[in-house]
Amino acid sequence: LLWKESWELGKNPMASRGSPLHGPRIKLIEKTHSLFAETKEHTFESKAAEEHARLLRIQHELEVSTKQTIFVDSSVSDTIRTCIALGNHRAAMKVRSEFKVSEKRWYWLKAFALATKRDWDALEKF
């Protein structure tokens, strides 16, 4: 079983590097998630895979709604930053709550994003 696990793990990054076909990729990652879930010692990996799948879904939605292909394959933090930089605070908050981003990280990200946007007023306010 462990063998299968490590093999599946090898597939995971390969899949992320691969094609922009989101459907099969998300499915594959979800399969990884369930495979990891079968053993006890891989709970962390399983959770990570699950989050990864969720992230891809959200990013996909964001791309559709903003019509900009800049979300997929960026990390959770990057996604939040892009959202804030685009002025889409609602989406940012949503991602934040979805992944339970800690207070500390949230403020770092927000500060960074606002600074890149040179939105000093907003920076002042929060």
Partner 1 sequence: MAQIPNLDNAPLNLASLREQSQKDLLNILRNIRGNKCLIVDQKLSGSLSLIIKTSILKEYGVELRHLSSEPVQTECPKVVYLIRSQLNLVKLISAHIQNDISKGTQREYSVYFVPRRTVACEKIFEEEKVHHLLTIGEYPLYMIPLDEDVLSFELDLAYRDYLVDGDTSALWHIAKSIHKLEYSFGVIPNVRAKGKASARISEILTRMQVEEPVSTSDVGIPEINTLILLDREVDMVTPMCFQLTYEGLMDEILRVNNGSVELDASIMGNQQQEGKKTKVPLNSTDKLFKETRDLNFEVVVQVLRQKATDMRQDYKEIQTANQSVSELKDFVKKLNSLPEVTRHINLAQHLTTFTSKPSFSGKLDMEHTIVEGESYDICFEYIEEMIHKQEPIVNVLRLLVLFSVTNSGLPKKQFDYIRREFLHSYGFEHIATLCNLEKAGLFKKQEVKGNWLMIKRALNLIVEDTDTTNPNDIAYVFSGYAPLSIRLVQHAVRSGWDAFLMEYKILKIPATENIDPSTPVVRPIEEILKLLPGPHSEIKRGGYSSTPSFDTLPGAPASIDKVADGRRSLVLVVFVGGVTFAEISALRYLSAQEGMAYDLIVGTTKMVNGHSILETFLETNV
Residues near partner 1 (CB under 8 A): 9-10, 12-13, 16-17, 44-45, 47-49, 51-52, 55, 73-78, 99, 101-102, 104-105, 108-109, 112
Distance from C-alpha of 91 to C-alpha of 64, rounded to nearest angstrom: 13
16 vs 88, beta carbon nearer partner 1: 16
Query: Torsion angle of alpha carbons 76, 77, 79, 84, nearest 10°?
Result: 140
CB atoms within 10 A of CB 74: 14
104 vs 118, beta carbon nearer partner 1: 104
Do 105 and 113 meet the contact criterion of CB atoms below 8 Å apart?
no
**Minimal distance, residue 106 CB to partner 1, in Å:** 9
77 vs 88, beta carbon nearer partner 1: 77
47 vs 89, beta carbon nearer partner 1: 47
For residue 44, give Cα distances in angstroms to 2, 34, 74, 77. Answer: 15, 12, 20, 19
**Minimal distance, residue 52 CB to partner 1, in Å:** 4
Shortest CA distance to 29 belongs to which of 41, 14, 44?
14
**Minimal distance, residue 64 CB to partner 1, in Å:** 21
**Minimal distance, residue 67 CB to partner 1, in Å:** 23
